[in-house]
A and B are shown apart, each in its own frame.
Chain A
Amino acid sequence: MAALPKRIIKETERLVSDPVPGITAIPSEDNLRYFEVTIDGPNHSPYADGVFNLELYLPDDYPMCAPKVRFLTKIYHPNIDKLGRICLDVLKDNWSPALQIRTILLSIQALLGAPNPDDPLANDVADDWKKDEKRAIEIAKEWTLKYATKKD
């Protein structure tokens, strides 16, 4: 494997020395481009008190290309589908090399706090969300309790 770019080394160092509150990102020992990520559900959202596992991979052309991020924990969210894929502009067209792993993870956390059913990835969830938001939020809470509760 090619040497790890300085950019990735620096970012990893900073993620460890100066972690983002509510977010952890630990590089895999086998592959320093692969991160195991946890994001705490934002307060005052249906995902509050949940801890969500994600995987993050830095492709070869990172930072020219966005990292690949996916939810591993099941989540009921209009912009996240069954496979955990995330519909987020900064992961796609609006990616910029000046963004970082930490900014991307913060954006994902913000997405949990502000679901956007008008630009859905999981159509069925988005439909529920638009038809009966209260009910949808209830389901999201149930799922959080069921799948994303910390097991100590």
Chain B
Amino acid sequence: MSDDDSDIFFEYEYDQEDDLDESSFCFSSDGEDDVMFDVDGENSDTPQTKISDTLANVGANGTLYYPWNVEQFIENKLLAKLDKLANGTLTACSIDELLIMLQVKGWQEDEVLNDYFDNRDKLYEACGLPVGVPMRNTLKKIKNYSCFVCCEDYSETYVYSLTCGHTYCINCYYSYISNELANGGPITCIEPDCKYTIPYRDVTDIFDIVNKTNHGGVTTIKSMVENPLLVANTKAMINSKRKYKWCPATDCNGFAELVGNVNDSVESLSSAKESVDISKVPIVTCSENHEFCFDCNYENHLPCPCWIVKKWIKKCNDDSETANWIDANTHGCPQCQSAIEKNGGCNHMTCKKCKFEFCWICFEDWKKHRNDYYSCNKYRNERQEDEQRKNRSKQSLERYLHFYKRFAIHENSMKGDLKTMAQIDTYTRLYMEDLRDQGKKNLSWNDIQFLPTAMRALQNGRKALKWTYCFAYYLGKSNFATIFEGNQDFLNKTVEDLSEVFEQIMSKKNPDKVGMILKNKTKLRNLSELVNSRKNMLINGARANLDDGLLWFDNEI
């Protein structure tokens, strides 16, 4: 866990980039569009272990994995295989040929090698590469062309053909390729029964012309990692293999690769049904530092085990409509917050629970209305307290709502925090760039390193807090459960304190935002450390108590 974190930090890409091994996952293309503060996740606090010459991350609970995104994966994994063949054993083949062969053979470079030396022509034929003749693909502009597929008559257009000579216009080829990409496999000539495969470079060229982008007609790493065919192929591969899992975060292009004997580990993960050993929950991160669980493919849900999470989500989905109805049709008592539905009568309300009298219109104390022209003195207490309504099902719904509300509140707050943090991020970045442009050196990036750390602490603190409500919902009653709730309160308070500091910084009343950040440096530092340690205390405590049987999940719930 992160209380024994090593001191590896590389938030600002230009700080430590040179430390990174070429072969490692930490590829950053140009750094321009990277987010400066990684606000979600704690990848940079993640210890790393060296396995077979590449750096693997050790996730919470000791899961070994590589965090990737598609571009990094293509560059570091796939193109490395290509490089090995192109510059080592199969120098006679062109890059295009090698890429097609690798794709057909599922990126097993050994298989390509074996088949090549076994029977080159057979391999070429299987890959849709020309045998006995040179590759004669053409992409050229011609005049007065009628395309057989779209039936359009062009006065001038680009046309494309493979070695076979079957020619179609570039628009048709573009739509055809775009359409076929979903399959993730090699794409052949449009002509039926023609097996020639379209090479990667041609796809880049065709897309460049139609989209008016430019990769300059030369093969670069950028043109390769952006190649639609390679990207589609990579995605298909990630989808089909168990050792890869996409990051569940919205719009995230990242994924994680499990290291080691995947079948063993995946089985041991999913065999942990009904287990209370949360030290087995395989928490990993993607390249964007989003933490998620490799087993249930949900965000980091510690301290809850996966099966509790599934139960909870199912319950929330089942009951969310109920909760929504209650939200829409009831109002909390101003004093005790019990949900009250007004099903008729006047606006002088008395809470059944705490007997507080209030006005349904203004939610103020009813006494304030006494001398007003607005009078509800005809009110008769027709609805006597109905003890029977407080039956068990109501209680259990109340109990559920209690936890669900808090769960949902923290989920929403997480989104709010993210927004605030993005603002602070932009603000600070602009400020720092200003300083840099003016040549002033009075504040360095190192001086505000505490900021991203604090943001991460807040996000992770909230996430853990959120899941503690799911945890607490299923928890059986015991003294240790009370202690757990106490720790939960502590974490709650610290998280709110930390969140408040960020809010104050971004408050409209505060003109000097950077000044405020620096003024609050110690506070932010202390609070984020406190959040982290309280979060860890909560999770570690839960784990230990579950192990010892002092905490248990109530199966009745």
Contact = CB atoms under 8 A, between A and B. Distances in A.
A90 B193 CA distance: 10
A6 B150 contact: yes
A94 B150 CA distance: 19
B89 interface: no
B176 to A, nearest CB: 6
Nearest to B173: A97
A6 B151 contact: yes
Interface string A51-65: 000000000010111
Given A61-B179, A64-B179, A65-B179, A6 B192 contact: no
Nearest to A65: B179
Interface string B136-177: 000000000000111110000000000000101000100110
Contacts of A9: 151
Interface residues of A, number: 16
Interface in A1-47: 5-7, 9-11
A25 B354 CA distance: 77
A10 B153 CA distance: 12
Nearest to B178: A64
Nearest to A8: B151
B364 interface: no
B191 interface: yes
A149 interface: no
B190 interface: yes
Contacts of B190: 96-98
A97 B172 contact: yes
B71 to A, nearest CB: 27
A126 to B, nearest CB: 26
A5 B178 CA distance: 18
Which of the four size classes fits the interface of chain B?
10 to 19
A64 B151 contact: no
A7 B192 contact: no
Contacts of A96: 190-192
Contacts of B166: 98
A98 B179 contact: no
Given A64-B176, A65-B179, A7 B150 contact: yes
A114 interface: no
B276 to A, nearest CB: 46
Contacts of B176: 64, 97
B192 A98 contact: yes
Contact of B192 (A5, A64, A65, A94): A94
Contacts of B150: 5-7, 63
Interface string B264-308: 000000000000000000000000000000000000000000000
Contacts of B175: 61, 64, 97
A7 B191 contact: no
A98 B149 contact: yes
A63 B149 contact: yes
A10 B149 contact: no
B192 A99 contact: yes
Contacts of A90: 192
Nearest to B192: A96
A64 B176 CA distance: 6
Contacts of A99: 192
Contacts of B151: 5-7, 9-11
A49 B151 CA distance: 36
Contacts of B149: 7, 63, 97-98
Contacts of B191: 96, 98
Interface in B496-510: none
Contacts of A6: 150-152
Contacts of B152: 6-7
A9 B151 CA distance: 9
Contacts of A7: 149-152
A32 B152 CA distance: 19
Nearest to B175: A64
Contacts of B148: 98
A11 B149 CA distance: 10
A72 to B, nearest CB: 27
Nearest to A103: B192
Interface string B207-223: 00000000000000000
Contacts of B168: 97-98
Nearest to B188: A96
B27 to A, nearest CB: 34
Interface in A90-139: 90, 94, 96-99
Nearest to A90: B192
User: What are the 3 closest A-B residue pairs judged by CB atoms, nearest first?
Assistant: A96-B192, A64-B179, A7-B151
Interface of B: 148-152, 166, 168, 172, 175-176, 178-179, 190-192
Given A5-B151, A7-B151, A98-B166, 10 more contacts: A6-B151, A6-B152, A63-B150, A64-B176, A64-B179, A90-B192, A94-B192, A97-B149, A98-B149, A98-B168
10 contacts: A5-B150, A5-B151, A6-B150, A7-B149, A64-B175, A64-B178, A97-B190, A98-B148, A98-B192, A99-B192
